[in-house]
Each structure stands twice: as structure tokens, then as C-alpha cells.
Amino acid sequence: MKQLSLLFFLSLQLLAFDTKTASKIFDKIFTAMLPKQSIIVYTPHKEYAEVIEMAPSLVLADTYTEADIILVDHLSDISPNNMQTIFTTNPSIFKRDERAVGAFYWEHGRPKIIFLQSRLDAKRMTLSKSFNRYIVKKLP
């Protein structure tokens, strides 16, 4: 029984993800991208769906067609014909896919936020001044 409870505790630790803080971060990022009271976000990932549901200014969409922003982690999640605004948690998508205006991912053990100026311009998006340091002119 002791071993079982220890195993249960360890499995909980392995699944640890700071959903509460992540929801605050995504809330700030998406409200900076779109000046709306409530922003509709679609994500096919269960983990990020929980994050969106916890965020005060974000509403989780059932389908991508009604979404203002699509949050993705894999290229297979997005149809090539879909031209909606994409935000990704995968740096490789950010580098390769022109629809991805920004990304939030881990780099060298630190969470990193990045936006590409040309893609923001193409979507006619202007972020608040506090986000200036996250905007780059060239892909890393």
C-alpha cells in the first residue's frame, strides 16, 4: 500500500504543470494581441484548454472557425488552408509557419515569449509598449 501511494505521489509530480500561472501569462499575451473584452481561443490540446478556461479574458472555442486565436503545439493540428492568427508553444512552428505571429516556449531552462514584427504588421497587430522587448525583426 505504501508503495502504491508513493507511486501515485510520483506520478502526480511527473504531471506537474503550473496551469494557474500559465493562464495568467496567456491572458496577458492574448489581450496584448487583441484589444477585446473577451478573446475566443481554440486549442486542440487538453492541457492548454485548461489554461485557457482559467484565464479571465479568454474564452475556449469548440471549433477553430469561431476562434480569434488558435493555440497549437504541432504542425499536424493546423490545416494548411487555415489563415487565422496562430500562436504556438513550439519554436519550430514559429520559425517555419508564417501564420504564427508569436510563440511561448522553453529555451535554456527559461520560458521565452517572442513575436515577429513582420507577421504582426501583416495581421495589423500592435502590441502594448511593455511587449516591445519580446518583438524581434528577424527570426532567431
* Interface residue list for other proteins (CB under 8 A): 6, 9-10, 13-14, 16, 18, 21-22, 24-25, 28, 74-75, 91-92, 105-111, 113, 130-131
| CA gap 43, 54 in Å, rounded | 14
Using only C-alpha atoms, the chain has a radius of gyration, in whole angstroms, of: 16
- Considering the complex, what minimum distance in angstroms separates the CB of residue 81 from other proteins? 20
Q: Which is nearer to other proteins, 34 or 105 (CB)?
A: 105
Closest contact distance (angstroms) between CB of 36 and other proteins is 18
Instruction: Identify which of residues 125 and 127 has a Cβ nearer to other proteins in the complex.
Output: 127
Smaller CB separation from other proteins, 61 or 90? 90
* Cα distances (Å, whole numbers) of residue 95 to 21, 70, 116, 120: 26, 17, 10, 14
Task: Pull the grid cell for residue 116.
Answer: 515577429
Nearest distance, CB of residue 52 and other proteins, angstroms: 16
Count CB atoms within 10 A of the CB of residue 19. Answer: 14
Chain centroid to CA 16: 18
**Which CB atom, from 35 or from 66, has the smaller least distance to other proteins?**
35
Lookup result for grid cell 479574458: 57
CB of 77 to other proteins, least distance (A): 12
